[in-house]
Amino acid sequence: MNQKEFALPSPLTEVQHSCLKGKNIRLFIKRDDLIHPDISGNKWRKLQLNIEQAIQRGNDTILTFGGAHSNHIAATAAAGNKFGLKTIGIIRGEEADLENPTLGYAREQGMLIHRISRTEFREIGDWNYIESLRQKFGSFYLIPQGGANFYGVQGCMEIIKELPFVADRIFVGCGTGTTLSGLALANKAISHIYGVSALKGGAFLRDEVSANVKKVINDFETEAFLMEKICILDQYHFGGYARISGELIAFMQQFYQETGIKTDPVYTSKAAWALIDFAEANPPTEPEKWVLIHTGGLQGIPAMEQREGMKIYPDC
Ligand SMILES: *Cc1c(COP(=O)(O)O)cnc(C)c1O
């Protein structure tokens, strides 16, 4: 695979934020948002090895799943186009708007969009259901929703391996927990890692990560050490998945003004908020290095702006 145009290892930017002043914290942002203009953030981390597998196994088509505004759908469509693979996106909800920014973009990239009902979507983890898709679409390489398989986890291990120092604390936004699982596995059992749930009821993330770690490590002592370093913060969903508030938008705008870095409204903005909140409640007594993983997701901003009828970043 020719991957020259991917900015890897992704840059690490040190930033100043007024809320962290005098708190013994140096804040660094791992810029996975800069990996690629169309296949950004943790989506490329999760796709990379899957695409390699698809090509090596001789598949010419990738099939995957997602919601109507899914960053994973947009990224898979772009990656398929780039590496000469056909892509099929099975989308949750028959009413999903084919012209919305994400699905419109995915179709432009050549993805075949197939919308199914929410009831049918609940079956996507079922073997028989996948077989029925093979009857319908022919053979394909399957990538689960959100890129949540072992190749996805393995790709995300690179994020922490690329850090030039051992961070004291790492914050990351979570949906499926795949990225967090990669961080947990590649942790040298030193960094405290905070998974900030984008969904209401994010406690499931701990089981998800623990199961992924168990499968790979196969050693309960090491698993326990690694899991001790994982903390799920599930009170920063702002009402639920993809919900936002005026306060959150104001925070994103201030964060952009102070650091020059845009965050997305669904994941990284909430993770950044959680980090600042955590710093205010728990300022370290010794100097510490904290890392916020910018998992990307900026492609979702236009759709959010459309939905909310406002501009998040009005000056650009
Ligand atoms: C998909 C996504 C996540 C969630 O990643 P998981 O591995 O599913 O937990 C986080 N941030 C952004 C920007 C995303 O697009």
Residue 72 has pLDDT above 90, yes or no: yes
Q: Which mutation among 209, 232, 241, 266 tests ligand 1's pocket best, with the greatest number of atoms within 8 A of CB?
A: 266
Q: How far apart are CA 25 and CA 12, in angstroms?
A: 16
Distance 174 CA to ligand 1 centre (A): 5
pLDDT of residue 12: 98
Whether ligand 1 lies within 6 angstroms of the CB of 149 is answered as: no
Verdict on whether the full-model pTM lies above 0.85: yes
The 10s digit of each residue's pLDDT in 215-269 is 999 999 999 999 999 999 999 999 999 999 999 999 999 999 999 999 999 999 9
Distance 42 CA to ligand 1 centre (A): 6
Distance 285 CA to ligand 1 centre (A): 31
Whether ligand 1 lies within 6 angstroms of the CB of 147 is answered as: no
Distance 283 CA to ligand 1 centre (A): 27
Whether ligand 1 lies within 6 angstroms of the CB of 265 is answered as: no
Residue 316 has pLDDT above 60, yes or no: no
pLDDT band for 78, please (50, 70, 90 cuts): very high
Q: Which mutation among 174, 199, 264, 299 tests ligand 1's pocket best, with the greatest number of atoms within 8 A of CB?
A: 174
pLDDT of residue 189: 80
Residues 163-190 have a mean pLDDT of 96
Distance 264 CA to ligand 1 centre (A): 11
Residue whose CA is at the smallest distance from ligand 1 atom 15: 297
Residue 201 has pLDDT above 80, yes or no: yes
Distance 200 CA to ligand 1 centre (A): 15
